[in-house]
Chains A and B, each alone.
Chain A
């Protein structure tokens, strides 16, 4: 194998943000996540029955959170529960004894540059406590 360069940070992302398309007035969330060394866990699109898929996502979030990874959630204002399936996710994470990740919501159609800076600042500011890092990130 080789040198492992994982970032130890993961963002749960509303589908509407990941697949926003070029014409929507939103920051380029993927580019900002890349620059901040975050990986992506995509949530299912709003609507439709995605119970099983959300349960799988909750399993992954719990697994990461229990092993020293920083997990955040990024939603989009104006979507139901910001596109984060928050109520269902809350219940699923509670069942797995896992805390809810800190949440950041992007507002569309306002100053895109300002929203991008706000998101970048949020991503940089969050990490797990130092003792957790020492325990797991070896």
Chain B
């Protein structure tokens, strides 16, 4: 039997900042601090699809949770979840330790937080920072978790890189990520062919 691995599921743009909305890319390509922290601790990387790019294209406006919370977008996210879920299931069923690093503040990939503003709509001329950050999953993460639950898989421990929180604090994000990874190391139970999941650390 193959040795269990440590696998980190990554929001698409953490490996590819070209997926971000216009004016949203903080790194040229790879979000280096995230990748560095994960590789240093021996995690293999598994990039998730970007639901917004596949739905609204690379030249889309930025948006909040309420704008993407439509039947069509949720259906699109469900299709993407069905595409990637078999791979995630194979990791979990072989006993790999799987974690999820999303994108806090994102309407789609938020884990601890998403962006909210029920008034947004029409021409995107709202003043800067005219949205709220609320403690809630983004739509993509909600749908992905539902698909994994449908397959009888345990909840994946998750955190978010706070890139979409309005004012990005890289040092704070790095601290949060390290703390999360540290907690996973402490929580790591002896491997025994059982499904490895548990309560999400969010």
A and B found bound together: yes
Task: Please report A residues at the B interface, Cβ cutoff 8 Å.
Answer: 1-10, 18-19, 30, 33-34, 36-42, 44-45, 48-50, 52-53, 55-57, 59-60, 63-64, 67, 69
B87 within 8 A of partner (CB): yes
Given that A6-B20, A60-B50 are known contacts, is A40 also in contact with B27, CB under 8 Å in the complex? Answer: no
B146 within 8 A of partner (CB): no
With the chains together, A42 CA to B45 CA distance in Å? 9
Distance in Å: Cβ of A46 to nearest Cβ of chain B: 12
With the chains together, A113 CA to B148 CA distance in Å? 42
Task: Please report B residues at the A interface, Cβ cutoff 8 Å.
Answer: 15-30, 32, 35, 39, 44-47, 49-50, 53-54, 57-59, 62, 79-80, 82-84, 86-87, 90, 128, 168
Distance in Å: Cβ of B28 to nearest Cβ of chain A: 4
Contacting residue for B59 out of A38, A40, A67, CB 8 A:
A67
Contact (Cβ within 8 A) B87 A50: yes
Contact (Cβ within 8 A) B90 A63: no
Contact (Cβ within 8 A) B29 A34: yes
Contact (Cβ within 8 A) B22 A4: yes
A-B residue pairs, 5 tightest by C-beta: A39-B16, A1-B23, A52-B83, A7-B28, A37-B28
Contact (Cβ within 8 A) B45 A39: no
Contact (Cβ within 8 A) A40 B44: no
Distance in Å: Cβ of B60 to nearest Cβ of chain A: 10
Contact (Cβ within 8 A) A4 B24: yes
Contact (Cβ within 8 A) A40 B16: yes
Given that A10-B18, A30-B30, A40-B29 are known contacts, is A53 also in contact with B58, CB under 8 Å in the complex? Answer: no
Contact (Cβ within 8 A) B49 A1: no
Contacting residue for B86 out of A4, A6, A30, A49, CB 8 A:
A49
With the chains together, A49 CA to B21 CA distance in Å? 31
The residues of A that contact B49 with a CB separation of less than 8 Å are 53, 56-57, 60
Contact (Cβ within 8 A) B82 A2: no
The residues of A that contact B28 with a CB separation of less than 8 Å are 5-7, 34, 37-39
Contact (Cβ within 8 A) B90 A40: no
